[in-house]
Amino acid sequence: MRDPDPVTAPAAPAARRATPWRRRRGPRRSRDPLGLRRALADRLLPGLVAAMALLATLAAAGGDAAAGLAARWQAGAAAAVTVQLPPARADAAETVRAALAALPDVAAARVVDPARLQALLRPWLGEAAAGMQTVLPLPVLIELHLTPEAAARLARAPAAEAAALAERLGTAAPGIEVEAHGLWVARLARLAAAVRGVALAVLALVAGVAAAAVGVAVRAGLAARRDSVLVVHGLGAGDGWIAAQFARRAARLAAAGGLLGAAAAVPVLMLLRGLGASLLAADGDGDAAVPGLAAAPGMLAVADLPWLPLLAVPALAWAIGWTTAQITVRRWLRTLP
Amino acid sequence: MLRFTGVGLRYGAPARGSGPGFAGGAAPETLRDLTFTLSEGSFTWLLGPSGAGKTSVLRLMQCVLRPTRGEVEVLGVAVSRARRRDLALLRRRIGAVHQDFRLLPHLSAFDNVALPLRLAGRSESVLRAEVAELLAWVGLAGKQHALPAELSGGEQQRVAIARAVIARPALLVADEPTGNLDAAQARRLLALLIELNRIGTTVVVATHNEELLLRHPAPVLRLEAGRLVGAAGAEPRPAEAPGGEPGRDAPAPAPAGAPPDDARAPAARVSGFRHAGA
């Protein structure tokens, strides 16, 4: 009627006038025998999956960030121990530092510059700080950086290990006071692990809800195309063929939703990163935990985004759509002979 | 071969949930104690008033329904014991013409007819010529790309018939296939059915069309309220006599001689179609 194939129906005069657009119509339809393009075309499914994907991306990025922070704390702060020397023994600072540096647990030891100490106190003591030296002598501070093994031991058993470490340091340099950050670092690490666990739980929940949404959409599609499915079943179409029709469509819609959600997450993540970076930059005086961000707070690198979750979410959405549709359709088909 | 052994059917009976094959609540038995055998290559009329269960019998033969009790054996496969995968393959060897056509509304006439070949994995180049030839034979050469909704009832029925025979089924079941055809078209269809039967297809046709019966006397299965009726003995096993002696129930003797010429010509073309593709 519209575009008879010129080879098989040369006599039909309309064929000569058929435009290329018309000619494509036949084959295009034949790839969608069940008419699922319309039955499973509602914008609801991609929209729902997009919302899920946004949540999943944010949760995954949050979990990532928490893990990164935990690792940073364990490598950085946990490895740092501050030793105080009474002001009276200020002359012995260099001797004590050398003694501590020689210990097997200590990677490096450094006497904190008195000028920097005064700078730290200035906000509280004002300009008087400079003259306070004689009235209120400041202690000498020595910063120790532990070896990775010692830091790991400290992170594992903060209370016991901190005491043992203090004893070892005290034997090497009597009269010092030791302050290890191990305890609160361990607590923060536990918090980070908990945040990670929550992120994983949110991911699992979101995946479950997405699967349920796909399942409902596929059921609606089955109901709408019940007659067509029964016809192809009667013609000898196997479960695999019928399920594949639905799975292809559902997977494509879910993946589109996943892409949409991940794309929507990018500006949100950029914003959060930007806030974090400006915080670190304002705080930092060379000790910033993320040197790259502190160095160029304005230049937020695209490479810093959590690309793994951003790319994994659409792929996961595709897989959820495909699997859910396969299971839903095959289960329904099993009620037929 | 087609063998029904003590077949009973109750819609909604198997407590397997709400499947489409079992829709409906606890209903009385639609079919009761059907026992008959149709030999390979036979031609059988299925007669009976509306609601007698003709369509249900045809659906059982098409293997889209399992009997509630008894056993249906189609082309050597016992349906109740077969695996689902094997039943799907079996259905590809069965052509079915439905009363309500059951064309896929989203596919053109061409794609509807091509569907069985595509499901069987035939190549597009082979399939294209075969489908075009068959559509031309049923008089729809110019309407290959029309959607079913754009076709008249008679045209849709012809598409449905073409779809049922395109894969050269070993068994063809037809439910009122002439319901929407005029007399000439009905004769052409009958000639096609006879020709398919002549080259080995087992054919079962449910009909009310007395004229067809007159033109082609053949064994009869007569249903009433879900049971086989008629004289016991010969009736339920009409095709077992290889001579194809008309059932006792069959209407008046056929007009002498072969089908009229207008029917024979297309039949010859169908056999040509078959050999060309085979």
Instruction: List the single residue in B with minimal CA-CA distance to A11.
Output: B142
Q: Check: CB of residue B240 under 8 Å from CB of residue B278.
A: no
Q: Check: CB of residue A146 under 8 Å from CB of residue A100.
A: no
**C-alpha to C-alpha distance for B67 and B60, rounded to whole angstroms:** 7
Q: Residue A277 corresponds to which amino acid? A: A
**C-alpha to C-alpha distance for A201 and A336, rounded to whole angstroms:** 38
CATH 3.30.70 residue ranges of chain A are 73-186
Q: What six digits make up the tokens of B60?
A: 């059982």
Long-range Cβ contacts of A226-229 (<8 Å, 24+ apart): A226/B20, A227/B102, A228/A33, A228/A34, A228/A35, A228/B104, A228/B105, A228/B106, A229/A34, A229/A333
- Which of B87, B145, B161, B175 would best serve as a mutation to test chain A binding (most A beta carbons within 10 A)? B145
Which residues of chain A make contact with B104, given a CB cutoff of 8 A?
Answer: 33-35, 228, 231-232
Inter-axis angle of helices B84-91 and A239-283, to 10 degrees? 120
| B14/A11: higher pLDDT | B14
Mean pLDDT, range A120-130, rounded to an integer = 70
Instruction: List the single residue in A with minimal CA-CA distance to B92.
Output: A236
- Sign of the CA dihedral running A142, A147, A149, A152: positive
Chain-wide mean pLDDT for chain A? 78
- Selection from B64, B57, B116 nearest residue A333 by Cα: B64
Which residues of chain A make contact with B96, given a CB cutoff of 8 A?
Answer: 234
Q: What is the share, in percent, of chain B residues with pLDDT greater than 90?
A: 49
Q: What is the pLDDT of residues B249-272, one digit of tens each?
A: 444 444 444 444 444 434 334 443
Q: What is the pLDDT of residues B139-197, one digit of tens each?
A: 899 899 999 999 988 899 999 999 999 999 999 999 999 888 888 888 888 998 999 99
Helix (H/G/I), strand (E/B), else coil: A13: coil
Q: Where are the alpha helices (DSSP H) in chain A?
A: 14-17, 20-23, 25-30, 36-39, 44-75, 93-101, 114-125, 129-135, 148-156, 158-172, 182-224, 226-234, 239-283, 291-295, 307-333
Q: What is the pLDDT of residue A280?
A: 59
Q: What is the pLDDT of residue B201?
A: 93
Q: What is the pLDDT of residues A243-301, one digit of tens each?
A: 999 999 999 999 999 999 999 999 988 888 778 777 655 544 444 444 444 444 444 55
Q: What is chain A's length?
A: 337
Contact between B62 and A4 using a beta-carbon 8 Å cutoff:
no
> At residue B69, does pLDDT exceed 50?
yes
Of the pLDDT bands very low, low, confident and very high (cuts 50, 70, 90), residue A22 is: very low
Q: Check: CB of residue B46 under 8 Å from CB of residue B206.
A: yes
Q: What is the pLDDT of residue A291?
A: 43
Inter-axis angle of helices B124-137 and B109-119, to 10 degrees? 130
Which residues of chain A make contact with B65, given a CB cutoff of 8 A?
Answer: 337
Which residues of chain A make contact with B77, given a CB cutoff of 8 A?
Answer: none
Note whether A238 contacts B: Cβ–Cβ < 8 A: yes
- The residues near A265 (Cβ < 8 Å, ≥ 6 apart) are A53, A54, A57, A58, A61, A310, A313
Other CB atoms within 10 A of residue B3 CB? 17
Instruction: List the single residue in B with minimal CA-CA distance to A1.
Output: B143
Q: Which CATH class is domain A73-186?
A: alpha beta
- Residue B220: beta bridge partners? B45
- B213 burial class (0-12, 13-18, 19+ CB within 10 angstroms)? buried
> At residue B80, does pLDDT exceed 90?
no
Instruction: List the single residue in B with minimal CA-CA distance to A242.
Output: B119
Q: What is the pLDDT of residue B249?
A: 43
Of the pLDDT bands very low, low, confident and very high (cuts 50, 70, 90), residue A19 is: very low
| B136/A110: higher pLDDT | B136
- Ordered DSSP codes for A223-240: HHTHHHHHHHHHTT--HH
Q: Which ipTM did the prediction report?
A: 0.80
Of the pLDDT bands very low, low, confident and very high (cuts 50, 70, 90), residue B14 is: low
Superfamily for domain range B2-13+28-93+169-277: P-loop containing nucleotide triphosphate hydrolases (3.40.50.300)
Least-confidence region, from A26-35, A154-163, A320-329: A26-35
